[in-house]
Amino acid sequence: MRTRSSEGGRVVPAGTASGAPGAPAVNSAPAAAAGAADAADALIARIDARSALVGVVGMGYVGLPIAGAMVAAGFPVLGFDIDARRVEQLQRGESPLEHLGPGFVAELRSTGRFDVTLDPARAAEADALLVCVPTPLGPADAPDLGDVERTMRSIARVLRPGQLVVLESTTYPRTTRDVVAPLLDASGLRRGHDYFLAYSPEREDPGRRAPRTVDIPRLVGALDERSRDVAVRLYAAAVRQVVPVASAEIAEAAKLLENIYRAVNIAMVNELKVVLTAMDIDVHAVIDAASTKPFGFQAFRPGPGLGGHCIPIDPFYLAWAARRAGSQSRFIELAGEVNRAMPEYVVERLGRALAERGRPLAGASVLVLGLAYKKDVDDVRGSPSFVLLERLRELGATVGYHDPHVPVAPAVRHAQLPPLSSLPLDADMLARWDAVLLATDHACFDLPWLVRHARLFVDARGATRGLQGGDVIMA
């Protein structure tokens, strides 16, 4: 297995690192160095023997897959969560995440090496703690690190010598150094000597069949060399490729870059959709044509907005961090604003289409197809479908939704809705709605049938291009 990083064009082999600006000086006293080496070597020995207990904090879309990878590598794993229902579900061997498959958790439990707890004090039992908690946006689009801070304070209360703590949550550069490290240092233990701290960003994509968690290269950065070495050794036991980088800040910024790259390109095609639609040009046909170029172009598709935990949030994390550093990120902030505006554009297109057919939006009934943020998953984090439903209600429409992956609409941070459940579909029911809005193009949707039976079909995904019959508009 390869473990390497590219730093300024030169290859840096595993086991070497260069300090980040502002990094604390390495204690060169022989006794201190020997103590750090002893603690690190003892932990590495447990990792190599697969006797190290790996704690995973947060049993969600990030925590469960990495827990699975660690169990598969032979480690005993203890999962932590604050949701009692989820803990009970996992203890029964049931998977709360549809895309992982119904047998995923049962298989983990059958090994006898996977347990779950509500008790944060049991973090003292773990040799390594991988922290996978949410990092949403707070007021004024500032980062909300409340879950990270609460978790680290809880860990600090029971932190013992010889433990490794790794933050996996997506965040802004210097979080590990400026937020996490001081909280753990408050334990009185010496970072890089008594305990070890690293940052390794998650790269999960719910619903994607390949690559698997074990096949996705892992970035690992830290505030000191020994911490990085220990973290690299742990991840190298569970994933095929580990890429050490010179600092935690590089790993933090790299994760933001990955997601902002997508956010910016999606914003571009979303804006292009608005412009080309006004010119009566099919944006999807344009993208298809451009995609024939074998170099210098990657296709992104427009939609009703951005969803998921990372891509809608990361531009604002970096923008906030840039302002704090006295800089600006105008282009990145603009991309975030464009993507946020897309649900409103879709509602405007739908309202105009209804008005042209003699039906005002106020008082109309609209059925939204798809509540998940992307096709064939049950993940609703940041889903624009919630924003669409909320906005349609505000404008006086009666709304409902159908999504076989999401039987009951959960409460979400980014929209306020009354209790809603997925409605069954049949031809008679479909015909009662004034408009049907395709927000998520699940593979299970019979689009030709839906188009034939809907009074008005509004497609925000471009999924019905080429279908014959029915009253269809693109939004």
Question: How far is it, in rounded angstroms, from Cα 98 to Cα 442?
Answer: 14
Extract the tokens encoding 310: 């990372």
Name the active-site residue from 310, 397, 430, 436: 310
Contact 270, 338 (CB under 8 A): yes
Contact 200, 220 (CB under 8 A): yes
Extract the tokens encoding 391: 């906005």
Question: How far is it, in rounded angstroms, from Cα 354 to Cα 17?
Answer: 61
Question: How far is it, in rounded angstroms, from Cα 389 to Cα 380?
Answer: 13
Contact 253, 222 (CB under 8 A): no
Unique residue bearing structure tokens 């604003």: 337
Extract the tokens encoding 433: 């709605």
Helix (H), strand (E) counts: the chain? 15, 15
Closest CA to 270 of 205, 345, 333: 345
Handedness of CA 237, 243, 248, 252 (dihedral sign): negative
Unique residue bearing structure tokens 């550069």: 173
CA 365, distance to chain mean position in Å, is: 33
φ/ψ of residue 299, rounded to 5: -80, 130
Closest CA to 276 of 286, 289, 265: 286
Q: Is 310 a catalytic residue?
A: yes
Task: Determine the residue type at 383.
Answer: S
**Residue 408 DSSP one-character state:** B
**Residue 247 DSSP one-character state:** -
Parallel, antiparallel, or unpaired: how do β-strands 4-7 and 10-13 relate? antiparallel
Closest CA to 176 of 237, 141, 137, 224: 224
Closest CA to 461 of 298, 337, 205, 287: 287
Which residues are known to be catalytic? 310
